[in-house]
Amino acid sequence: MHFLIDLIFFLFKILYRICENACNKLCSFFVSEKHVHDEIVLITGAGHGIGRELAFQYARLGATVVCLDINQQMNENSSNEIAKTIGRPVYAYQCDVTDNARVREVAEKIKKEVGDITILINNAGIMPCYNFLNLTPDQITSQFNVNVLSHFWTIQAFLPGMIERNYGHIVAISSIAGLAGVPHLTAYSATKFAVKGFMESLEEELRISSNGKSLIKFTTIYPSIVNTGLCKKPKIKYPLFMGLISPKDAAAIIISAQRQKINERSIPSYWKPLVDTFKIFPKRICEDLRDFLDFGLEPEY
């Protein structure tokens, strides 16, 4: 009897959640994006590509921007150019985000010199494109260090402050390859699937540990091929449908998703619903779709 009562209550809750989600989707078309001029935004991999564009665009929106990159010269060049263009300071710190001790050291320095990070964007990533049997142990390990473990180190460094204030937003850049495995990107796909699982698990852990009272937001982004130079040999059969995305456009979509508190977003937006839908079909149909689209990357060797 107790089970039946719980089941009925659960079914009514599902119906309520469906209606709630539909209303939220409808309202999202009319809700303005949250301002960021009071935020302190930290971006990893800010010296080039998407990270550099994120830094530029957040600075233009009035946020205080903190740039992290392993390449000190590129990072300082980006921050200096942004500061000169925007007319306000941009902070740059050299940091190997795969080094936990270094991340904690830089985090303490940032807190003293800039303030508490309120938006953390884990953007740094590498993407060697090789046949699986040609991957070296160092190439595999380095991808997991940069693409996955760095998320653990930065979030462990900055999440406690967010929990203390019950305020903050964590953004992770995954990939379309984190939704569906891509040939010649076996290690990369594995790391991006790991990012998705990590973000889902961490968000749920905070929900449970706070009894649903946590106000910290999470956003995971799944970009398609962005023209940052990492993709050496893109294979695109239908460029009008699946062409290369500019870092500027990718950054704008990421910022918009963060400001709207969107939990998951692919770039382009139709990719994630497409992948999710086709996963309910038999495997052979998914293979037929892949053959039809013929989209991906050629191996570097």
Q: HEC profile for the chain?
A: CHHHHHHHHHHHHHHHHHHHHHHHHHHHCCCCCCCCCCCEEEEECCCCHHHHHHHHHHHHCCCEEEEEECCHHHHHHHHHHHHHHHCCCCEEEECCCCCHHHHHHHHHHHHHHCCCCCEEEECCCCCCCCCHHHCCHHHHHHHHHHHHHHHHHHHHHHHHHHHHHCCCEEEEECCHHHCCCCCCCHHHHHHHHHHHHHHHHHHHHHHHHCCCCCCCEEEEEEECCECCCCCCCEECCCHHHHCCECHHHHHHHHHHHHHCCCCEEEECCCHHHHHHHHCCCCHHHHHHHHHHHCCEECCCC
Enter the tokens of residue 97.
């985000």
Could you tell me the CA-to-CA distances from 17 to 203, 206, 260, 295 in Å, in that order? 18, 20, 19, 36
> Residues 93, 130, 188, 222: which is the catalytic one?
188
Enter the tokens of residue 265.
């977003």
Side chain identity, residue 282: P
188 is catalytic: yes
- Give the span between the Cα atoms of 138 and 126, in whole angstroms: 13
**Catalytically annotated residues:** 188
